[in-house]
Amino acid sequence: MRDDKDIIYFLSENKAKGINEIIDSLGMSRKNKKKISKKLEELEEAGEIVKIKGNRYTTPEKAGYLKGKFQISRGSFGFVDGENESVFIPRGKFGTAMSGDTVLVNITVQGTARKKSEGEIVKIVKRSSDKVIGIFQENRNFGFVVPTTKMGKDIFISRKYFKNAKNDDLVLVEVLNWGEKAKKPEGKIIEVLGDPYDTNVMIDALIKRNGYSEEFPEEVKKELENITEPSEEEKKKRRDLRELALITIDGEDARDLDDAVYVEKLENNNYKLIVSIADVSYYVKEGSELDKEALNRGNSVYLVDRVIPMFPRKLSNGICSLNEKVDRLAYTVEMEINEKGKVLFVDTYKSVINVKHRMTYGSVNKILKDDSSEIEKYRDIYDMLKKMRKLSDILRNKRLKRGSIDFDFKEKKVVLNKKEKVEYIKVRSRDLSESLIEEFMLSANEAVAEKLFWYEIPSIYRIHEKPDLDDIKALNKILMNFGYKISNINELHPGKFQKIIEDVKDKEYSMLVNKVILMSLKQAKYNLENLGHFGLAASYYTHFTSPIRRYSDLIVHRILDEVESGKINKKRSLYLEKFIDKAAKHISTTERDAEKAERESVRIKIVEYMIDKVGNEYNGIITGLNKNGMFIELENYVECFFNTNNAKDEYIFDENKNKVLEKNRNKSYNIGDAIKILVVRAELKDLSVEVIPFEGEENGDSSK
């Protein structure tokens, strides 16, 4: 019998077919008609094919549907991201879909060069979860749960399923029936979480909603008991780098130290760069309980107040972490690089290392800025750090010369006090030490990716595809406000974006321009096929340097070891191809989910921080516009929203010119405009901070 891919490919290349036509065309036997019929039903249920009039089958795309993942915006709308298109879903067209669900969309309005297609969700292919977090509202004989993550409808709760919940409690609901167009979903409360205005409770709820856990299954814990320090015999099998002055450079609060680096200048004036990465693959064997759990998690999740690790802390903070002055097993990339940044030689091998110093970004920055007391403290590595800086500058210049995009973002960090409340929000620029480590990791990742590519074996790549032309046209409309434009968009090159980023570097709207450029680009993802990395202007790229917190890197370590040990045969190669294709999709999803959860956890704390700021006045800058209002970033780095629908005056969104017009006073508001505002609302239920502009001539453009 043919497999699923054969059937899907056949239907994608032909007109809609009935079951007998499918059987005959693919050379299958009609004796197996029942089995084939069941397979078609399974493919239909999975959203891979659809049944249309006449009991004929075709693909969703050929039937006019789009399959993709649904995400709800903070506004009253959502988007479904398909493989090649993103479709706008207005409020009321969600059905019972929730963020994260895989859905089929019927395209109701075809898009244009300036506007996305619009659609309606007609089928939930796969639920991201059957658990919903919401606020309980009690009536006499029944109740409702209003989800904290927006979905089309509230959830009906029969009295027998209240589980002692009280009015306005935050609860975890298991959905028993998702309902239909005219009927609400039904569910039962399985846990009362507490006060919806307690941000710690909200973050606990966020963790439960996403299916995360700081705890690990018993099978994993049991397996963990058998993991011990490597034997001297194992160390002898490896290249011994313990005499080299390898150092780690991380943030002060980092506990999982993946990478150590070393640089020396050779007699021929070339540089030797050594990047040694924690050898997690030695401890975590393929198919083990630890491995299965790590694959399921996909990555570590860094929330505002805690980390949900991919591996138990015995590994992530202990035996695998490249801690100072202890022997550690590593996978090393050794490169010889000339003074123009060209990599002349690459060697990869298993090693044993002993980190000489656990350095922080702050400490290295001080040394590189000639802080005498800090230099004295680390006199033994001072010369090496100067060589590191020189080499990182060489590598960065070479990367930028080929057109790599180097975003100039200032990292926003929420600083919590002992009571886990926001003390302040700070912005930290990427400094010398951060750039240094970034360049070395990029070089190691590129070197490994190219090596694996030329081995011609299945591997996992980090790809970044070219942006869609429609997105660049939309970007140009915004860039015109600042006097810029991406020219000749039919021949896109990352260097065009980098040129603008360089030009706005010292201007007050630099951060905003960086942000809108980033939003116009596609998301990077994992893929079996090497399609290159547009943003880095790299032909080969993978993730090798963080196996403690990313499963992709663990896959790369294993494949590299297998191919260099001569262990990959045809059978293994076929297995890897299927496994990587599936794993790449899964960990791309877990990565996006983690990023979303991380942002939401930060938002929870920020909204709490702003509650007692209601009534305060701030300066801000307009960062986005739509028909419902203006997105504004305040001087304290908080993002907020002015809802023009609730305003006394009439506001009109001019989509063609991408500006908002205040009709009564003939004022216009553009992205990048400075604006004075008053905070009028900060609400934890929907994580919103709402503001209104001051009256007066200081806001907007009053020219006619």
Condensed to tens digits (0 to 9), the pLDDT of residues 376-404 reads 999 999 999 999 999 999 999 999 999 99
What's the rounded mean pLDDT across residues 232-255?
95
Asked whether residue 338 is assigned to any structural domain, the reply reads yes
Q: Are strands 674-683 and 688-693 parallel, antiparallel or unpaired?
A: antiparallel
Asked whether residue 477 is assigned to any structural domain, the reply reads yes
Q: Considering its fold, how many domains does the chain have in total? A: 6
Residue 478 has pLDDT above 50, yes or no: yes
Highest mean pLDDT among 281-290, 504-513, 515-524: 281-290
pLDDT value of residue 74: 57
Are 640 and 679 in contact by the 8 Å Cβ rule? The answer is yes
Q: Tokens for 500?
A: 């603008």
- b/e burial code for range 147-182 (CB count within 10 A of at least 16 → b): bbbbbbbbbbbeeebbbebeeebbbbbebeebbeee
CA–CA dist 401, 404 (Å, integer) = 7
Widest distance between CA atoms in the chain: 85
Which of these ranges, 1-5, 108-112, 210-214, 242-246, has the smallest mean pLDDT?
A: 1-5
Residue 700 has pLDDT above 70, yes or no: no
Are 457 and 566 in contact by the 8 Å Cβ rule? The answer is no
CA–CA dist 76, 149 (Å, integer) = 11
- Claim to verify: residue 107 and residue 166 sit in the same structural domain: no
Residue 116 has pLDDT above 80, yes or no: no
DSSP β-bridge partners for residue 50: 58
- Claim to verify: residue 582 and residue 438 sit in the same structural domain: yes
In a 3-state reduction of DSSP, which class is residue 671?
coil
Instruction: Indicate the average pLDDT of the chain.
Output: 91
Side by side, the strands of the sheet bearing 271-278 are 239-240, 343-354, 327-337, 271-278, 259-265, 247-250, 357-360
- Claim to verify: residue 241 and residue 362 sit in the same structural domain: yes
pLDDT value of residue 6: 84
pLDDT value of residue 15: 87
CA–CA dist 330, 244 (Å, integer) = 13
Are 122 and 93 in contact by the 8 Å Cβ rule? The answer is no
Asked whether residue 538 is assigned to any structural domain, the reply reads yes
In a 3-state reduction of DSSP, which class is residue 568?
coil
CA–CA dist 347, 510 (Å, integer) = 40
- Claim to verify: residue 550 and residue 467 sit in the same structural domain: yes
- Claim to verify: residue 378 and residue 282 sit in the same structural domain: yes
- Please choose, from the candidates 611, 623, 622, 619, the residue with its C-alpha nearest in 3D space to the C-alpha of residue 636: 619
Which of these ranges, 26-40, 57-71, 77-91, has the smallest mean pLDDT?
A: 77-91
Indicate the residue among 544, 564, 593 that finishes a domain: 593
- Claim to verify: residue 91 and residue 175 sit in the same structural domain: no
Residue 429 has pLDDT above 80, yes or no: no
Domain that holds residue 307: 218-397+416-428
Residue 369 vs residues 363, 366, 375, 388, 499: alpha-carbon distances, Å: 10, 5, 10, 14, 28
The CATH number given to whatever domain includes residue 108 is 2.40.50.140
DSSP, residue by residue, 414-430: EEE-TTS-EEEEEEE--
Condensed to tens digits (0 to 9), the pLDDT of residues 300-356 reads 999 999 999 999 999 999 999 999 999 999 999 999 999 999 999 999 999 999 999
The CATH number given to whatever domain includes residue 163 is 2.40.50.700
- Claim to verify: residue 137 and residue 243 sit in the same structural domain: no
Asked whether residue 116 is assigned to any structural domain, the reply reads yes
- Please choose, from the candidates 681, 685, 597, 611, the residue with its C-alpha nearest in 3D space to the C-alpha of residue 135: 685
Condensed to tens digits (0 to 9), the pLDDT of residues 603-617 reads 999 999 999 999 999
Are 387 and 264 in contact by the 8 Å Cβ rule? The answer is yes
Highest mean pLDDT among 29-43, 170-184, 358-372: 358-372
In a 3-state reduction of DSSP, which class is residue 168?
coil
pLDDT value of residue 17: 87
pLDDT value of residue 704: 36
- Claim to verify: residue 251 and residue 115 sit in the same structural domain: no
Question: What amino acid is encoded at 217 in this protein?
Answer: P
Task: Count the neighbouring beta carbons within 10 Å of the beta carbon of residue 437.
Answer: 22
CA–CA dist 576, 249 (Å, integer) = 34
Read off the DSSP letter of residue 511: H
The band of 150, judged by pLDDT with boundaries at 50, 70 and 90, is low
Q: Tokens for 459?
A: 């591997």
The band of 539, judged by pLDDT with boundaries at 50, 70 and 90, is very high
Task: Count the neighbouring beta carbons within 10 Å of the beta carbon of residue 58.
Answer: 19
pLDDT value of residue 113: 57
Are 163 and 192 in contact by the 8 Å Cβ rule? The answer is yes
DSSP, residue by residue, 202-233: HHHHHHHHTT--SS--HHHHHHHTT--PPPHH
- Claim to verify: residue 492 and residue 567 sit in the same structural domain: yes
Condensed to tens digits (0 to 9), the pLDDT of residues 120-147 reads 888 888 887 888 888 999 987 899 998 8
Question: What amino acid is encoded at 258 in this protein?
Answer: D
pLDDT value of residue 151: 63
- Claim to verify: residue 54 and residue 69 sit in the same structural domain: no
Which is more confident, 557 or 13? 557
- Claim to verify: residue 120 and residue 142 sit in the same structural domain: no
Question: What amino acid is encoded at 637 in this protein?
Answer: Y
Indicate the residue among 373, 408, 428 that finishes a domain: 428
- Please choose, from the candidates 657, 668, 664, 658, the residue with its C-alpha nearest in 3D space to the C-alpha of residue 700: 668
Indicate the residue among 529, 560, 593 that finishes a domain: 593
The band of 702, judged by pLDDT with boundaries at 50, 70 and 90, is very low
| Number of residues assigned to the chain | 704
The band of 695, judged by pLDDT with boundaries at 50, 70 and 90, is low
Which of these ranges, 45-54, 583-592, 685-694, has the smallest mean pLDDT?
A: 45-54
What residues have CB less than 8 Å from 191, skipping those under 6 apart? 163, 171, 172, 208
Which is more confident, 444 or 665? 444
Q: Tokens for 430?
A: 């990427």
Asked whether residue 532 is assigned to any structural domain, the reply reads yes
Asked whether residue 88 is assigned to any structural domain, the reply reads yes
- Claim to verify: residue 9 and residue 39 sit in the same structural domain: yes
Which is more confident, 147 or 630? 630
The band of 575, judged by pLDDT with boundaries at 50, 70 and 90, is very high
The CATH number given to whatever domain includes residue 50 is 1.10.10
Task: Count the neighbouring beta carbons within 10 Å of the beta carbon of residue 575.
Answer: 13
pLDDT value of residue 1: 54
In the chain, pLDDT over 70 holds for what percent of residues? 96
In a 3-state reduction of DSSP, which class is residue 616?
coil
Asked whether residue 465 is assigned to any structural domain, the reply reads yes
CA–CA dist 21, 42 (Å, integer) = 18
Residue 185 has pLDDT above 80, yes or no: yes
Q: Tokens for 536?
A: 């880095």
Q: Which residue's structure tokens are 């297995």?
A: 575
CA–CA dist 123, 270 (Å, integer) = 60
